[in-house]
């Protein structure tokens, strides 16, 4: 189950970067259903436990993806503002100049 958990974590992170919460809720339901049915042969309790683990791992990955998305947006916003300041300096204008 180890490689499966790491794949779910990465998939959750990709969903966090690319998706909004309502769509991700459908992914969680789908993953829980698939894992639950895939584990039925091992017993109902074991299948339920595997489904819960899959959902929790996807949620952790989703939270990490949201953090990455927020960090990237902040970095991009900071880069744009610093480029704007640099372009003002290269034009020779300062905030106190009168035209």
Domain ranges of the chain: 2-86
What is the mean predicted confidence (pLDDT) over 18-40? 78
What's the first-to-final CA gap in the chain, in angstroms? 69
Q: Bigger pLDDT: 33 or 89?
A: 33
CA distance 94 to 89: 7
Helix (H) or strand (E) holding 94: none
CA dihedral 30, 64, 22, 1 (to 10 degrees): 10
pLDDT at 25: 80
What is the mean predicted confidence (pLDDT) over 35-43? 77
At 1, the pLDDT band (50, 70, 90 cuts) reads low
pLDDT at 98: 55
CA distance 49 to 76: 41
- Asked if the model's pLDDT at residue 44 lies above 70, the reply is yes
């Amino acid at each position: 189950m180890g490689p499966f958990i790491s794949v779910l974590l990465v998939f959750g992170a990709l969903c966090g970067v690319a998706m909004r919460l309502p769509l991700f809720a459908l992914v969680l339901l789908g993953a829980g259903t698939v894992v639950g049915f895939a584990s039925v042969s091992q017993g109902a309790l074991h299948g339920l436990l595997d489904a819960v683990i899959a959902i929790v791992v996807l949620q952790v990955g989703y939270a990490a993806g949201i953090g990455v998305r927020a960090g990237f947006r902040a970095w991009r916003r900071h880069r744009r503002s610093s480029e704007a300041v640099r372009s003002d300096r290269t034009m020779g204008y300062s905030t106190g100049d009168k035209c």
